[in-house]
Structures are given as structure tokens and as C-alpha cells.
Amino acid sequence: MKVTKSEFVVSAVGPAQYPDDALPEIALAGRSNVGKSSLINRLISRKNLARASATPGKTQQLNYYRVNDDLYFVDFPGYGYAKVSKAQRAQFGVMIEKYLLNREELKLVLLVVDMRHPPSKDDISMYEWLQHYDRPVCVVATKADKIPKTKWPKHIKIVKETLGFKPYHSLVMFSSETGLGKDELWEVIESRIGAGDDQSEAPTS
Ligand SMILES: Nc1nc2c(ncn2[C@@H]2O[C@H](COP(=O)(O)OP(=O)(O)OP(=O)(O)O)[C@@H](O)[C@H]2O)c(=O)[nH]1
Ligand SMILES: [Mg+2]
């Protein structure tokens, strides 16, 4: 996709603040500090629109970024960050769960995992949850630049095995540092938002 315009729209703390113009939404879920905001910045070729936070766990709302007049990226709060209180965590959990279950505009969830390590328990739960509720998902294995190319296949294998990855989902290897995977990920996104209202688990690539 050729990005001609991108802007931050709102930090939503609940449905009343979600945009009402019915554009398709692509959500980003993943561990705190895994690289969700950096991934958005790379996709839209902006250095710092989605703030890549120095303090993990800082993004505690659903942050909406509008791209052209085509779609929104919805940056989720990262999970698994200890300094967020239990009550806060539960509250975000409910908000996200409702969003994931009910939001009609949601066309794809990018589950972002750190390619250097096996997916965490939280990553696995999120992946299983998304499958259980039949939400369209694409796994993005990021920070590829941090491991030597020769070891990529081994790491991807571990990511897949640990997650119990389903071959009918897409998996894209990515680096916000080098731009690896950018075109491939845009193709996955475009094929989903071109897919109209069909929420079924059709192959995404
Ligand atoms: N080398 C490298 N560093 C990355 C990559 N993606 C993110 N980072 C770094 O990882 C750190 C966290 O990135 P963020 O994009 O802020 O992560 P996040 O998932 O948005 O974090 P929260 O908003 O706290 O949940 C930053 O220091 C980034 O510069 C990548 O692909 N390669
Ligand atoms: Mg972030």
C-alpha cells in the first residue's frame, strides 16, 4: 500500500471513543516491548508516529492510527508487564476482550512475537484465544535483525512449534530496524481488508 497520509487519531479507553467511520481496523497484540509501535511506524514509514516507548507498558489505551482513508491500526497495550497493577490489567483485559469479540471493523489481528525467544505463555494464550473465537490472525515474528540470517529457519520453527501454529494462518518474519517483511505484511493486510465482511478463517495469503 502506498501510504500518503497517516495520523494519530485517539487513545481510546472504551467503545465510546472508537472511530465511527467504519474503516477496517488492524489490531496489534503482543508482549510489552516486543515492538508493536515500531512495527506500525515501519509500515507507514514514519519514524515516531506510534510512539516507540522507552518505558514498557506505557501504552495503556487502544491507540488508533489512521492510514490514508483506508484503514486504522489499533495499537494494544502490551501484556505481561509487571508494573501494571492487577486491577489495571484486568480492566485492560476486559476492554480488549470486548473489542476483539465485538468490533465489526476488526479485520485482522497481528500477533507480534519476538523472534529471538520462544513465544511466552501469554503469547500462546492469546493465540489460542483468537483461534477459539475464530478471529483472523497473522503472526508477526519481529526483531529478525537481532539474529543471524542462518539461524532464522531454526527460530521460526521454534516460534511455530511453541505456538502450535496453524498452517492456514499467515506468519511474516519482520524487522522494524531493516524493513524486512514490510511488503509481505502489507500484502496480508490488503488481502484481509479487501475481503469485505467475510470474517471466516480463509487463508490470508
Ligand atoms: N533491533 C530491533 N529493535 C526493535 C525492533 N522493533 C522494536 N525494537 C526496539 O524494541 C523496543 C520496544 O519497541 P516498541 O515498538 O516500543 O514496543 P511495543 O510493543 O510498542 O511496547 P509497549 O508499547 O510498551 O507495549 C524499542 O527500543 C525499539 O527500538 C526490531 O525489529 N529490531
Ligand atoms: Mg507501544
pLDDT one digit per residue (tens) for the chain, 205 residues: 889 999 999 989 889 999 999 999 999 999 988 999 999 999 998 877 877 554 555 556 899 999 999 999 999 888 766 566 667 666 667 888 899 999 999 999 999 999 999 999 999 999 999 999 999 999 999 999 999 999 999 999 999 999 999 999 999 999 999 999 999 999 999 999 984 444 445 555 5
Closest CA to 112 of 70, 62, 76: 76
CA-based nearest residue to 77, from 65, 66, 54, 93: 93
Ligand 1: residue whose CA is nearest its atom 24? 56
User: Residue 145 carries which DSSP code?
Assistant: G
Name the pTM for this structure. Answer: 0.90
Residue closest by Cα to atom 26 of ligand 1: 52
Q: Which atom of ligand 1 is nearest to the CA of 53?
A: 16
Phi and psi of 199, rounded to 5°?
Answer: -100, 10
CA 38–ligand 2 middle distance (angstroms): 7
**8 Å CB contact between 37 and 46:** no
Domain spans in the chain, listed from the N-terminal domain onward = 6-193
Rounded-to-integer distance, Cα 106 and Cα 195, Å: 12
- Domain 6-193 adopts which CATH fold? Rossmann fold (3.40.50)
Supply the residue whose CA is at minimum distance from atom 30 of ligand 1.
143
Residue with cell 516491548: 33
Q: Helix H segments across 31-80? A: 36-43
Measured between alpha carbons, how far is residue 25 from residues 2, 20, 156 in Å? 17, 11, 27
Ligand 1 mean position, distance from CA 198 (Å)? 32
**Cβ-contact 193, 71 below 8 angstroms:** yes
Asked if 184 and 150 count as a contact pair (C-beta separation under 8 A), the reply is no
* Per-residue CA distances from 22 to 61, 71, 109 (Å): 20, 9, 17
- Per-residue pLDDT at 52: 56
What is the CA(56)–ligand 2 centre distance, in A? Answer: 8
C-alpha of residue 83 to centroid of ligand 2, in Å: 15
- pLDDT for position 48: 76
* pLDDT recorded at residue 146: 98
Residues in contact with ligand 1 by the CB-under-6-Å rule are 30, 32-38, 52-53, 56-59, 78, 142-143, 145-146, 175-177
Residue 93, pLDDT score:
76
pLDDT at position 143, please? 98
Distance 104 CA to ligand 1 centre (A): 28
Residue 52 Cα: closest atom of ligand 1:
16
pLDDT digits 0-9 by tens, 21-65: 999 999 999 998 899 999 999 999 887 787 755 455 555 689 999
**Amino acid identity for residue 203 in this structure:** P
> CA 44, CA 38: separation in Å to the nearest integer?
10
Give residues with Cβ within 8 angstroms of 118, minimum separation 6: 158, 159, 162
Residue nearest to atom 16 of ligand 1 (CA): 52
Nearest CA to ligand 1 atom 9: 35
Could you tell which of 40, 58, 63, 176 is best to mutate to test the pocket of ligand 1, judged by most ligand atoms within 8 Å of the CB? 176
Instruction: Tell me the HSE value of 28 on the side-chain side, using a 13 A CA sphere.
Output: 31
